[in-house]
Structure 1
Amino acid sequence: MLSKSKYLLLLFPILAFLGFQLLDKKSPASAEWPEITQTAKPWTRWWWMGNAVDEKNLSKLLETYHEAGLGGVEIAPIYGAKGYEDRYLEFLSEEWLSMLDFTVTKAESLGMGVDMTQGTGWPYGGPQVGVENAATRMIIQNYEKVDGQELPTPIQFQKRRENQYDAELIAVMAYDKDLNAKDITSFVKADGQLDWDEAGAWQIKAIFLDKTGQMVKRAAPGGVGFTLDHFSKSAVDSYNSYFQKAFAGKDYGIRSFYNDSFEVYGADFTGSFFEEFEKRRGYDLKAFLPYLESEEDSEMVRRVKSDYRETINDLLLNNFTKNWTSWAHNQSKLTKNQAHGSPGNLLDLYAAVDIPECETFGSSYFPIPGLRRDSADVRNVDPDPIMLKFASSAAHLTGKNLVSSETFTWLGEHFKSSFSQMKPEVEQAFLAGVNHIFYHGVTYSPEDVSYPGWLFYASLNLTQQNSLWPHFKGFNDYIARSQAILQAGKADNELLVYWPVYDVWAEPKGKMEMITVHAVDEWLHPTEFYKQSKSLMEAGYSLDFISDDIIANSTVKDGLIQTSPKNSAKVLLIPETEFMPIETLKSILNLAEAGGKVIFQSKPKSIPGYHSDQESRQAEFDALWASLSFNHGKVNVGKGQVILNQDSRGALESLGIYREKLVDSGLNFIRRKVADGTYYFLVNHSANTISQTISLNAKAGTVMVMDPLTGKTGSIPTTSNSEGTSISIYLKSGESIFLKTFEDKVDLAIPAWADYSQSLNSADISNNWKLTFIQGQPKLPSPQTMESIKPWTDNDSPEADDFSGQASYSSEFEMKKTEGKHYLLTIDKVYESAKIWINGKEAGNIWSIPYQLDVTEQLQNGKNTIKIEVANLMANSIRFLDRNGIEWRNYHEINFVNIDYKPFDASNWNTMPSGIAGKVQISEFD
């Protein structure tokens, strides 16, 4: 029985997650920033190295994280540091569970949340996974039987390694020259000899159920073992029951269980696969194995492989994802899952959990002037934000409020990533619908471990030893303010774009079709679905992706297609599609019949998969399509309409569905609908300043500007027109703002938003500075005086060149301040983050391009003092350690690698510039 307090603690985050908000009820206009909740704050994956945790350090670290603005942690036990084995705790032991209980209790006292990886390392597995429940693969051994001759070798499993388990013989099939099949399993003797001699030449295939042998990667103590068979319900049930027993009925208060991306290598089978296949697809796959093994681009190969992959999807979706979520709900827990990397329909897999999670991996290119992106420090990957939309679409369409992201994985080389580089990357995720950021990550590092503490092998390492940590809260506050808005109300997307997964499953190459982040050039980019989605988004349309199953479960209300009680869209768009099930076409036409609007780029060519009655099924599909008597590309169906038009944009305009023309300026955007208006998130990732009048589709009598960097708000003049609302916007490259539109003219009792487009005059305060080093590694350099402000690494000081930490620039200046004017501090370059004090009053943070801050409130007429505390990167101090042979990385497993997965060595690095560069100015504006 849950106590009342425990029940409320559990209920509140679930209500927040569900995002209950009565959008139909008119609310008073509010100029307030949405509440900064636990989920609005960024969370982090929390690596427990070797499970070497204790109450003292857990308490201290959680307090440190809380003070830095983190809203929660996701416990991820992994391998440990050498020399600390006596501190290791066995995963799920009484001692470990005691630490879990302590962690949750301490986190609750701080208002923080806790998630937990249901295992150690990744993927799911461990010592509780016996061979019978381990990841499984299908091995096919081929033999040739010559007419009239015995098979020369016995049918026995051929091991690839000495310690490999014996595989189970499932069946033996014979195929003649026309690929007609016979099951000859019963003719195989115990010793493997084949006692069968039917006339003719035969291709013999022996099918074995083998174990992949994959062990959990990066496992923690107590977590070493086989990877789980995700396709087997009994294996998954056994895995879940192990945790249920370990928890012994105690509610440890974690919010959700988490599952990482599907990295189960080679697993393509399970013990009941052939039976499940026949039940679902209607034929015996064993009779069609030559097509499954072939890579010929033929119709039969594509159809059989499509059926095989669809069956794998069904087993993963039902036996693992839905089954796991149902079990978690019975434990009063949520599920958070990364569907990408799996062989299934990403949309349905994401939709089957409570919090869909995508990931940002690597570094994107942004043409923002001055944004550092050294090719030697980034991975050779090109992240695609459209990939992120599979997770957000599934959440939007099923009415789930939170879309999480594993963020900044390998953003750059260790110790070289700055907040200025993180900002556009996280904004790109926000624009794709992400609103619940998880850092990758923070490593638990005890107080007695010397600098740089325990570190995970993959960047980004945001730990309390990081020289940027004292400035981390400024970055976290920016994300928290942004996510407070992005979690409010509901997504405001007008289009549903059908993802033809059967086209992906019909790929003739390979057996499994792993739908991974790193293979988008193969399964995503060449498709018309991708090209249409990208083109429409770039043109200014807001959209979500929809699957066959979600279409089947959608309804129509007031002419809008409702995918759930909390989500609706104006139109369903079917891009050029090769394969579509009859059932999906029927569901689409049913939506039209009920009043929905549907656009087809072209007629889907065929039904997917292989069927014994293929011709009659195809004829039924063609007849259903032929029932649409298009007149100039349009036909009314019941209360709705179906349009056939290659020009999607033209078709949308004919339905009165218009794009946001603001994108023509170079801005990117996303919208959220709330009870008293609409939020716009506007981002300038272009190379240029955008200073012009833009049009918003939302009709608004009042528009409020909200700056997520500072939390400041202001009103902005509006002009209504037939297309919506016009406003003047001024955003430098790298800037982002939120707008809140109110349908009526309302008095928000807030000041007008400052116009920074044209300065009246500027004062250069770049001269006569003192520099004092505050704290850092390896030791504090001597103070410096500067005639003109410059980086501390430009002063021929080896000690300063090796320093990572915080240093303070200070100076005095005269300023004539005029009442009613606005004053903007600008710095040409900050390496890497700055806190500003003017006249002893903290003015704010500068850590992103453009490096600027409004200091009107702190500035005074006449003499002023200024202090700029700068935090640089860890790179220079790590270089010092490696150049001087000071050992700091000594871990079990992978130890510590660079961005190319080679042994890490910073000794040959150049000095990273640190401090302030260029001019420091204060400009006056109306």
Structure 2
Amino acid sequence: MKKVFWGFISISLLFLAGSCRFDNSYKEIDSLRKHFVTPPDDARPGVYWYFMDGNLSKEGMTKDLESMKKAGIGSVVFLEVNVGIPRGHVDFLSKEWKDCFKHAVQECERLGISMILGIGPGWTGSGGPWVKAEESMQSLVSSVTHVTGGGKQTILLAKPDPMPPYFGEWAFTPELKERWQEFYKDVAVLAFPRTDEKTFVKDVQEKALYYRAPYSSVPGVKQFLFRDNDSTDLNPRDIVSVDKIVDLTDQLANGSVTWDVPTGEWTVMRVGVRNNGAVTRPAPLPGVGFECDKADTTALMAHLRVFTEELFSLLGERDTLLPGGLKILHMDSWEMGAQNWTPKLRQEFKKRRGYDPQPYYPVYAGYIVGNKQISERFLWDLRQTMQELMLENHSLFVKAYAHKHGMRLSIEPYDMNPMQDLELGASADIPMCEFWSPGGYNTSFSAVEGSSLANIKGQTVVPSEAFTAAGDGWKQHPASMKDQTDWAFAAGINRLTFHTFQHQALRDDLRPGMTMGPYGVHWDRNQTWWPYVDGYHQYVARCQYMMQKGQTVADVLYLAPEEAPFVFRAPKSALDGDFLIDKRGHNFDACPPSLLYTASVENGKIKFPSGMQYSLLVLPVFETMTPRLLEKIKSLVQEGAVLVGIPPLHAPGLTDYPACDQELSAKITELWGGKELPEGLVERAYGKGLVYWGQDIKIKEDNLYPDYQLTSGLLSKMNLEDDFRSDAGKVRYIHKKIKELDFYFVSNRTKESLTTTCTFRVAGKQPQLWNPVNGEIRNLPSFTEDGVCTSIDLSFDANQSFFIVFDGKPRPVPGMKNFQPSKEIQKLDNTWLVSFDSKWGGPGQVEFTELQDWSQSSDDGIKYYSGTAVYHQSFNYSQSLQKPVYLDLGKVKNIAKVWLNGKDLGVIWTNPWEVEITDAIKEGDNELRIEVTNLWPNRLIGDELKPYDGIVNGQWPEWLLHGEKRPGDRYTFATFTHYTKDSPLLESGLLGPVRIVMKE
């Protein structure tokens, strides 16, 4: 019956949508519909596949990958780290390790799973014990000696100490610490009249790129660095005058200089370079070493020759056309911090900035050279130069290197990043983001950064490290993750990469087995619900397939300032929520300065080579801008763009200073008509475009950008109403467009059922509902439109989501409802036979006269049970079979699979907890079977009542090392203890009520 029913629906859709046309539009919607129902493999989600310091097993790798394939995982990020697990016997990069790696790649090729390889051990970056100190990340350091003038003196200068490593010295091996302490090279010796040493540049350790703390996880880390330009409180003794600096570099010998010291008090500064203390982390012990210089291709290639080149050689010639195998090189979150020196820095600085940085080296140490503004300008030049060098000689070099080997490069461009996040992300083939599970760090900003870059550059895939967690303890599951999954899709993410699938190197009876210490959402084959997870993965794949199609519709383009470091934060007023931030009615993207240079104007909109376009360009309320960038902005407005923003105050660096400020001022006068902010919000015509500026912008500045209501009002003035709105205000959205085809993803943000009128900025087309949970596609018969927007009454269950697809000629059907209410026609309240697996402490088969929570049972075998129990019930059915009939499971903890009369009806994992049974139910006697699976915590808690026989003092137990029988009687084994015997148990089982319902 179902095949006939769906055939009728498909035919109806074709005629109702005016699909008798056989043009390209028809083919596109037909292909979209086909692959929505059965998504292709490349729409599948991925996992971080973590290996723990030598705990590798070929057999375990094959089991991991085969379980992934069966469960609908399409890609893996291969990283080896060391977090909270005793070392294994397969040393990193040993012959045995390489053999395991080759096996993993070949198995990925066999199974059609694509592999993404981190470019170094750990997740921080690129390095190892093979990195020489002179090829490592370096800092400019100094020591000072004070002398009194009046004749020739031989002055002994102390060798500058290294800066303390940001993460401390604990990560060093003894040999590495010795190398760190020994490495030193002199750079310069400078002398200048002694200053008041109480006066220094504010926050110089950040501004001079000694340290960049993790923005997401350390309170108080700045989004960008504020300038201190006020020199009114300084006197001549507070500053170092450039024209009074004496270069004594050539006189340095054996740590001393001989100098005829002029009269007065002098400071002699010995300047040199040291390793900055950044090491691979958290790397397997044989992979612990210095991070390589991120601004020098020679240093980078020396690293790559040892790591990736050896692996490529091992793999031999690969068929790059295979769907599986090694496809992408990866740079994970930038957690190695900053560096402010590279051997060619002075030479490169002169070439890029047009002046010699050496007289300004005292600024590194906090001295004010010239005045505060000049020192701040030099520090900006330093950061820009280092950013350019790290982009050109690290990320872009690795990208070219990956292309040479038939691969691409993905980058997570955030956290401890001394560059601008957006600029680092723009250098990747695939910018990647990250989000944590609730209770973890708030990295939602990275979703905006990653999706913005992909939109502007026309990259169809936006991956994200997904559901990163700390202390999760196997508590999350598909249903609990549904709301955040939908948030990610609405934020523009379209490839979830779950953190983490821990490689299971232990034998199969030791479950839940290997963990990444306390971290991760435990997305691996030892999860209780893993055999059923493809129900959720199918949902994810349908959504991701759709999200990877077409272009995102966005009205506003926020331009980032020319700053490094810089984390883009959207105006708070443009967002709803804190941890899960949803966009309001006008979508937006963030643009790094480098990408704006590729933009043009078409029909009054800013357009990029990808085809992405925006109606408003919004400037940050920021004091600096280079004349070059302002010239580009001016040209866009002249061509017809609409600009919102106030003028900058001055240029940022010392290049061509002060002429650069005069040039900027002239351009400001051309574009804005002056610098004095008018009251309110003023419209000014320039060329074919418009500029909106005034004190309203400055007064209402919000995360550097104008208040959302101001930009929204301007868009309304341009006849661009909200792209989406809901009268209940509780529905998130994203709008995509494929040529003339529009579709929206909409999701109920609440845990309650919701009926609301949703308005879409599309008209003249038939709305259809595409349900990504079950693949259902149907017309929505009831809607209204006004020539610009279409309004539709939509009903959502808790956290339910749909695609609303607009295609074909609109044909509303008067009197018909979009959603039919359910009517209960029978409650299944007979006795249930429930079977619990005795291997996991269950009592075998028991009777439930009524449904109950396992954790409340008086039987310890049920109370502490974790795993799958099978419910059986026989019932008689005598109602009509003429309308669609559904089985409603009520409340389920935590996932279920249903059979009726031997027919597999699939997995039920989310609201509404129902499945259509029209084709399976029959008049008379029926046999119902429901497999219900809960989570690991209850069994783990119960086992805490039993003697412990696991890891002690970081060592594997002897029985495990020697393959002996386990001495204790615990059912579970895990490498990290999340619970005590007193931890609260979790609600578990089929709680119901279980009913048969019919749609009216």
Q: Please point out which of 502, 507, 512 is paired with 1:452.
A: 512
Q: Residue 142 and residue 722 in structure 1: after superposition, are their counterparts in 2 closer, same or farther (change >3 A)? A: farther
Q: Please point out which of 45, 60, 64 is paired with 2:63.
A: 60
Do the aligned partners of 1:680 and 1:740 also contact (CA within 8 Å) in 2? Answer: yes
What is the correspondence of 1:366-405 to structure 2 with a 5 Å cutoff? Answer: 378-379=439-440, 381=441, 383-405=442-464
- Say whether 1:810 aligns with 2:890: no
| Aligned-residue offset at 1:546 | 0.7
Once residues 891 and 563 of structure 1 are traced to their aligned partners in structure 2, the CA distance between those partners, rounded to angstroms, is: 57
Once residues 683 and 429 of structure 1 are traced to their aligned partners in structure 2, the CA distance between those partners, rounded to angstroms, is: 11
> What's the counterpart of residue 695 of structure 1?
759
Letter in 1 for 2:344: S
> What's the counterpart of residue 273 of structure 1?
345
> What's the counterpart of residue 36 of structure 1?
39
Q: Please point out which of 128, 138, 141 is paired with 1:139.
A: 141
Q: Residue 760 and residue 874 in structure 1: after superposition, are their counterparts in 2 closer, same or farther (change >3 A)? A: closer
Deviations 1:271-310 (A, max 9, x none): 2223323332333334334544449995445433322222
Q: Please point out which of 437, 462, 487 is paired with 2:523.
A: 462
Tell me whether 470-479 or 763-772 shows the greater mean CA deviation: 763-772
Do the aligned partners of 1:51 and 1:80 also contact (CA within 8 Å) in 2? Answer: no
| Aligned-residue offset at 1:682 | 0.4
Q: Please point out which of 685, 690, 712 is paired with 2:776.
A: 712
> What's the counterpart of residue 498 of structure 1?
559
> What's the counterpart of residue 349 of structure 1?
424
> What's the counterpart of residue 358 of structure 1?
433
Once residues 464 and 274 of structure 1 are traced to their aligned partners in structure 2, the CA distance between those partners, rounded to angstroms, is: 53
Once residues 855 and 486 of structure 1 are traced to their aligned partners in structure 2, the CA distance between those partners, rounded to angstroms, is: 30
Do the aligned partners of 1:705 and 1:740 also contact (CA within 8 Å) in 2? Answer: yes
Q: Residue 460 and residue 142 in structure 1: after superposition, are their counterparts in 2 closer, same or farther (change >3 A)? A: farther
> What's the counterpart of residue 662 of structure 1?
725
Once residues 442 and 790 of structure 1 are traced to their aligned partners in structure 2, the CA distance between those partners, rounded to angstroms, is: 32
- Say whether 1:550 aligns with 2:595: yes
Provide the alpha-carbon RMSD of the alignment.
3.4
Letter in 1 for 2:420: N
Helix, strand or coil for the counterpart of 1:39?
helix
> What's the counterpart of residue 904 of structure 2?
842
Once residues 860 and 252 of structure 2 are traced to their aligned partners in structure 1, the CA distance between those partners, rounded to angstroms, is: 77
Once residues 270 and 53 of structure 1 are traced to their aligned partners in structure 2, the CA distance between those partners, rounded to angstroms, is: 37
Q: Residue 285 and residue 688 in structure 1: after superposition, are their counterparts in 2 closer, same or farther (change >3 A)? A: farther
Q: Please point out which of 828, 835, 843 is paired with 1:765.
A: 828
Once residues 292 and 285 of structure 2 are traced to their aligned partners in structure 1, the CA distance between those partners, rounded to angstroms, is: 18
What is the correspondence of 1:583-662 to structure 2 with a 5 Å cutoff? Answer: 583-595=628-640, 597-611=641-655, 613-614=657-658, 616-628=659-671, 633-644=682-693, 646=697, 647-662=710-725
Q: Residue 490 and residue 783 in structure 1: after superposition, are their counterparts in 2 closer, same or farther (change >3 A)? A: same
> What's the counterpart of residue 174 of structure 1?
191
Q: Residue 39 and residue 343 in structure 1: after superposition, are their counterparts in 2 closer, same or farther (change >3 A)? A: farther
Once residues 781 and 921 of structure 1 are traced to their aligned partners in structure 2, the CA distance between those partners, rounded to angstroms, is: 27
Letter in 1 for 2:711: S
Once residues 67 and 918 of structure 1 are traced to their aligned partners in structure 2, the CA distance between those partners, rounded to angstroms, is: 29
Once residues 780 and 852 of structure 1 are traced to their aligned partners in structure 2, the CA distance between those partners, rounded to angstroms, is: 27
Do the aligned partners of 1:154 and 1:192 also contact (CA within 8 Å) in 2? Answer: yes
- Say whether 1:331 aligns with 2:444: no
Do the aligned partners of 1:775 and 1:805 also contact (CA within 8 Å) in 2? Answer: no
Deviations 1:551-581 (A, max 9, x none): 1121233443222234233332224233222
Q: Please point out which of 551, 558, 571 is paired with 2:616.
A: 571
| Aligned-residue offset at 1:549 | 0.9
Deviations 1:731-754 (A, max 9, x none): 123111111111534999xxx997
Once residues 891 and 428 of structure 1 are traced to their aligned partners in structure 2, the CA distance between those partners, rounded to angstroms, is: 41
Letter in 2 for 1:348: E
Once residues 729 and 67 of structure 1 are traced to their aligned partners in structure 2, the CA distance between those partners, rounded to angstroms, is: 35
| TM score, norm. by length of structure 1 | 0.85
- Say whether 1:107 aligns with 2:166: no
Do the aligned partners of 1:135 and 1:227 also contact (CA within 8 Å) in 2? Answer: yes
- Say whether 1:786 aligns with 2:848: yes
Letter in 2 for 1:659: D
Higher-Rg structure is 2
Unaligned runs of 5+ in 1: 1-23, 364-377, 506-512, 516-522, 896-900
Equivalences, count: 854
Once residues 756 and 293 of structure 2 are traced to their aligned partners in structure 1, the CA distance between those partners, rounded to angstroms, is: 57
Q: Residue 592 and residue 220 in structure 1: after superposition, are their counterparts in 2 closer, same or farther (change >3 A)? A: same
| Aligned-residue offset at 1:605 | 3.0
- Say whether 1:426 aligns with 2:426: no
Deviations 1:100-129 (A, max 9, x none): 443333323322212212222132212332
| Aligned-residue offset at 1:265 | 3.8
Do the aligned partners of 1:705 and 1:753 also contact (CA within 8 Å) in 2? Answer: no
Helix, strand or coil for the counterpart of 1:257?
strand
Deviations 1:613-666 (A, max 9, x none): 22x322322221222367983344333333336421122222222212424432
Once residues 838 and 608 of structure 2 are traced to their aligned partners in structure 1, the CA distance between those partners, rounded to angstroms, is: 55
Once residues 831 and 483 of structure 1 are traced to their aligned partners in structure 2, the CA distance between those partners, rounded to angstroms, is: 26
Q: Residue 610 and residue 84 in structure 1: after superposition, are their counterparts in 2 closer, same or farther (change >3 A)? A: closer
- Say whether 1:192 aligns with 2:256: yes
- Say whether 1:250 aligns with 2:310: no
Once residues 533 and 576 of structure 1 are traced to their aligned partners in structure 2, the CA distance between those partners, rounded to angstroms, is: 18
What is the correspondence of 1:288-327 to structure 2 with a 5 Å cutoff? Answer: 288-294=360-366, 299-327=373-401
Do the aligned partners of 1:524 and 1:530 also contact (CA within 8 Å) in 2? Answer: no
Do the aligned partners of 1:494 and 1:571 also contact (CA within 8 Å) in 2? Answer: yes
> What's the counterpart of residue 938 of structure 2?
876
Letter in 2 for 1:235: A
Q: Residue 894 and residue 271 in structure 1: after superposition, are their counterparts in 2 closer, same or farther (change >3 A)? A: farther
| Aligned-residue offset at 1:719 | 2.7
Tell me whether 421-430 or 239-248 shows the greater mean CA deviation: 239-248
Helix, strand or coil for the counterpart of 2:47?
strand
Do the aligned partners of 2:47 and 2:497 also contact (CA within 8 Å) in 1? Answer: yes
Do the aligned partners of 2:837 and 2:843 also contact (CA within 8 Å) in 1? Answer: no
Deviations 1:768-810 (A, max 9, x none): 3222114763x33333322221122211122223322111223
Deviations 1:300-346 (A, max 9, x none): 45433322222221122111011110111011111111111211122
Helix, strand or coil for the counterpart of 1:353?
coil
| Aligned-residue offset at 1:221 | 6.5
What is the correspondence of 1:406-555 to structure 2 with a 5 Å cutoff? Answer: 406-410=465-469, 413-446=472-505, 448=507, 450-457=510-517, 458-502=519-563, 505=564, 513=565, 529=571, 531=573, 538-555=583-600
Once residues 49 and 745 of structure 2 are traced to their aligned partners in structure 1, the CA distance between those partners, rounded to angstroms, is: 30
Once residues 145 and 762 of structure 1 are traced to their aligned partners in structure 2, the CA distance between those partners, rounded to angstroms, is: 97
Once residues 501 and 903 of structure 1 are traced to their aligned partners in structure 2, the CA distance between those partners, rounded to angstroms, is: 47
Do the aligned partners of 1:833 and 1:847 also contact (CA within 8 Å) in 2? Answer: yes
Percent of residue pairs bearing the same amino acid type? 22
Do the aligned partners of 2:435 and 2:467 also contact (CA within 8 Å) in 1? Answer: yes
Tell me whether 709-718 or 274-283 shows the greater mean CA deviation: 274-283
Once residues 198 and 657 of structure 1 are traced to their aligned partners in structure 2, the CA distance between those partners, rounded to angstroms, is: 71
Q: Please point out which of 819, 825, 829 is paired with 1:755.
A: 819
Q: Please point out which of 929, 948, 956 is paired with 1:867.
A: 929
Tell me whether 479-488 or 529-538 shows the greater mean CA deviation: 529-538
Letter in 1 for 2:143: Q
Helix, strand or coil for the counterpart of 2:250?
helix
Once residues 63 and 805 of structure 1 are traced to their aligned partners in structure 2, the CA distance between those partners, rounded to angstroms, is: 21
Letter in 1 for 2:136: A
Do the aligned partners of 1:78 and 1:220 also contact (CA within 8 Å) in 2? Answer: yes
> What's the counterpart of residue 998 of structure 2?
924
Letter in 1 for 2:426: A
Do the aligned partners of 2:471 and 2:978 also contact (CA within 8 Å) in 1? Answer: no
Helix, strand or coil for the counterpart of 1:564?
coil
Q: Residue 620 and residue 875 in structure 1: after superposition, are their counterparts in 2 closer, same or farther (change >3 A)? A: same
Unaligned runs of 5+ in 2: 1-22, 170-176, 194-236, 319-324, 698-709, 958-974
Letter in 2 for 1:660: D
Letter in 2 for 1:452: P
Do the aligned partners of 2:832 and 2:849 also contact (CA within 8 Å) in 1? Answer: yes
